[in-house]
């Protein structure tokens, strides 16, 4: 099997949102805290008429319809989600309604769950299936669906909701470069949901940010090592055209890319110019522990990485900034943003993906973008995603006048 990966994508998100600047006023925090401090524009939310199941049913139906795929041609269906609807029954079983209707009950796969990482586990499972001896020639289907809601407090503005579906098969326009991969998995309590009766996670915000960045460093190191072993030359951020990050809020994405730049500086990569090298030099002696705590280092890295951020990362940020954290769907919504923004220019490019799930599980992997045959071409995927229309037709919930009569 050649070029196994993503053949087609579709996204559904709730038609409701609140503006982060209005949320700032409502929450009584300082102006700019959510928009500049977290880097978010607006936040999507489910009203009482929808949930992760209805969103995933919708996105699977629209994907099959928009790409004209017969439901009988699906042989594996995997769902990534961390929104608990039932402690035993997979969300996948609800989706089987679509396939049972046309007589297809021969579909492998169940749900994968570990915070925001489940979608990546589902993707790897489906791609591995296509590349394995048990593959029967049919398509795989990956669904990421989540609604992120937090208790009142600093984490609340980092909620969001969406569902994404991805059709998996060979000769894909978006193929996995399976050789290049780095994972970091460990045991931590940064974000978890021990209260089964509550929708809210227990979250140690600061710890979760540090865990995310530590996992990023570790995955990047392993990814670079694998790349060098196979390609016989070092990897640096110049070797990929886009970097797509799991995006709890945009500020963390800015910090993440800056962190990769810092890694390249420590590894003496030529991408780091003389001027930036001089600015970073004072921090070269920090221990890795110290480097996570240094606010000055963080600021300098963000500043020197900014020009590359603008070309390699900014086009990935559209949907996450508009919707918020979609947990398992977040990384793939960021990827959909690049497809939306740059579909004409992507063929031949390498796109590095960083998936993070608290608790913790993380992998850095890469996509290679190929030509693709209609309907599985980048331009068709972009037109079916229809991002601009979907964003523009949302209903913005406004603040009620707070003065009482």
Residues that bind ligand ACO (CB under 6 A): 30-33, 36-38, 116, 154-155, 158, 191, 203, 205, 208-209, 212, 248, 251-252, 325, 358
* Cα–Cα distance measured from residue 139 to residue 381, given in angstroms and rounded to the nearest whole number: 17
Q: Which of 249, 252, 147 is nearest to 201 (CA)?
A: 147
Between the alpha carbon of residue 60 and those of residues 44, 96, 285, the distances in Å are 20, 10, 51
Between the alpha carbon of residue 288 and those of residues 182, 221, 268, 285, 360, the distances in Å are 19, 13, 16, 9, 19
Nearest approach, Cβ of residue 326 and ligand ACO (Å): 10
Nearest approach, Cβ of residue 7 and ligand ACO (Å): 28
Q: Which is nearer to ligand ACO, 66 or 330 (CB)?
A: 330
CB atoms within 10 A of CB 15: 12
Nearest approach, Cβ of residue 28 and ligand ACO (Å): 12
Asked about 50 being catalytic, the answer comes back as no
Pick the catalytic residue: 82, 126, 298, 301?
A: 82
**Going edge to edge, which strands form the sheet with 395-396?**
42-44, 16-19, 395-396
Asked about 82 being catalytic, the answer comes back as yes
Q: Which is nearer to ligand ACO, 16 or 209 (CB)?
A: 209
Burial string for 201-224 (b: 16+ CB within 10 Å, else e) reads: bebeeeebbbbbbbbbbbbbebbb
Pick the catalytic residue: 17, 116, 126, 144?
A: 116
Rg (CA), the chain: 21
Nearest approach, Cβ of residue 330 and ligand ACO (Å): 7
Nearest approach, Cβ of residue 362 and ligand ACO (Å): 10
Asked about 340 being catalytic, the answer comes back as no
Pick the catalytic residue: 184, 246, 340, 343?
A: 246
Nearest approach, Cβ of residue 117 and ligand ACO (Å): 10
| Positions marked catalytic | 82, 116, 246
């Amino acid at each position: 099997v050649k070029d196994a990966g993503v053949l087609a994508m579709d996204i559904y998100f709730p038609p409701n949102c609140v503006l982060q600047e209005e949320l700032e006023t409502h929450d009584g925090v300082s102006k700019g805290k959510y928009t500049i401090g977290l880097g978010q524009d607006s936040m999507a939310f489910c009203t009482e008429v929808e949930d992760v199941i209805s969103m995933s049913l919708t996105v699977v139906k629209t994907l099959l319809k928009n790409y004209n795929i017969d439901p009988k041609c699906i042989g594996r269906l995997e769902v990534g989600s961390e929104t608990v609807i039932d402690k035993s029954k997979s969300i996948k079983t609800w989706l089987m309604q679509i396939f049972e209707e046309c007589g297809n009950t021969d579909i492998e796969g169940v749900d994968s769950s570990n915070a925001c990482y489940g979608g990546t586990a589902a993707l790897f499972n489906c791609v591995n299936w296509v590349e394995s001896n048990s593959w029967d020639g049919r398509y795989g289907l990956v669904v990421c669906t989540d609604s992120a809601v937090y208790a009142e407090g600093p984490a609340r503005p980092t909620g969001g909701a969406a569902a994404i579906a991805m059709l998996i098969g060979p000769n894909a326009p978006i193929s996995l470069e399976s050789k290049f991969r780095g994972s970091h998995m460990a045991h931590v309590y940064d974000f978890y949901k021990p209260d089964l009766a509550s929708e809210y996670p227990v979250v140690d915000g600061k710890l979760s940010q540090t865990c995310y960045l530590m996992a990023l460093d570790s995955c990047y190191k392993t990814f670079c090592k694998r790349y060098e072993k196979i390609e016989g030359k070092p990897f640096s951020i110049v070797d990929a055209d886009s970097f797509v990050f799991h995006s709890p809020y945009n500020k963390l994405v800015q910090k993440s890319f800056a962190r990769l730049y810092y890694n390249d500086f420590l590894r003496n990569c030529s991408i780091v110019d003389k001027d930036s090298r001089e600015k970073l030099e004072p921090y070269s002696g920090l221990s890795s522990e110290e480097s996570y705590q240094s606010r000055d280092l963080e600021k300098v890295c963000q500043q020197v990485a900014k020009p590359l951020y603008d070309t390699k990362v900014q086009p990935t940020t559209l949907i996450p900034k508009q919707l918020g954290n979609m947990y398992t769907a977040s990384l793939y919504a960021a990827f959909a943003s690049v497809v939306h923004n740059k579909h004409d220019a992507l063929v031949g490019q390498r796109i590095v993906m960083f998936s993070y799930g608290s608790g913790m599980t993380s992998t850095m992997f890469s996509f290679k973008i190929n030509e693709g045959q209609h309907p599985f071409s980048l331009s068709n995927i972009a037109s079916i995603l229809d991002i601009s229309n979907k964003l523009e037709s949302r209903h913005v919930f406004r603040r009620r006048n707070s003065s009482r009569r």
